Amino acid sequence: MLIHQASKDSSTGCVERRVSGPTSDSVHALRPSEIKVVAMMGDSLIAASAEDPEPSISIGEEPFGRTQVSFPDILKTFNPDVIGYSPGNRNYDNSLDQSILNVKAEELSEQALRLVNSLKNNPHIDFLRDWKIITVYIGIADLCAYYMNEEHYSPENVTIRIKDALDIFYQEVSTVKPSSSKNIPLPIN
């Protein structure tokens, strides 16, 4: 039996929706209130930076002004204890945000290893029990580099590099229950 608790969050104007009950053991039954961790890696548009004062849509949080809503902002209406988001822009240390502007797929496995290490060593994360949403956005820099080296940046080779990084999550993160869900948005055409 699920018990819905609602209260008004004054910073977003949204109604907080906490759900109590047993924790889902499958991503197919996962409820937003069960997600404890947001993390990301990749390149380009997903990475907020000191040069871009707007928060990243995947991991940013905009606590004041509400000019845009990010994924963590939505999750926080279900679970205000979600961790891993970057308040405002990325002008501070957040080990759960491994994204780097203009990174290519060949660097994704290194990011995945750093992110897994951060997830395992963060004292606020129960690696074996907390649900994690990991956003991976990659490909823009690879597309731009394609004409400089068509073989190295071929779709087949880039796909292999992405698969290698995702395999790290499969081996390190997906073997525990609850686990993680990967969010992989497609590059903008």
What are the average pLDDT values for consecutive 10-residue runs of the chain, which has 189 residues? 42 54 78 89 62 51 58 85 72 74 92 94 90 87 93 95 91 64 57
Q: Which two tokens mark 30? A: 């996962």
Q: Where are the domains of the chain?
A: 3-17+24-183
> How far apart (Å, rounded) are the C-alpha atoms in residues 28 and 16?
22
Q: Provide CATH code, domain 3-17+24-183.
A: 3.40.50
Q: What is the pLDDT of residue 69?
A: 72
Nearest-5° Cα angle at 182, 94 to 46: 50
Q: What is the pLDDT of residue 147?
A: 92
Each residue of 69-87: pLDDT tens digit?
777 888 888 998 888 876 6
Q: What is the pLDDT of residue 149?
A: 96
Task: Return the DSSP state at 147.
Answer: G
> How far apart (Å, rounded) are the C-alpha atoms in residues 86 and 154?
33
pTM over 0.85: no
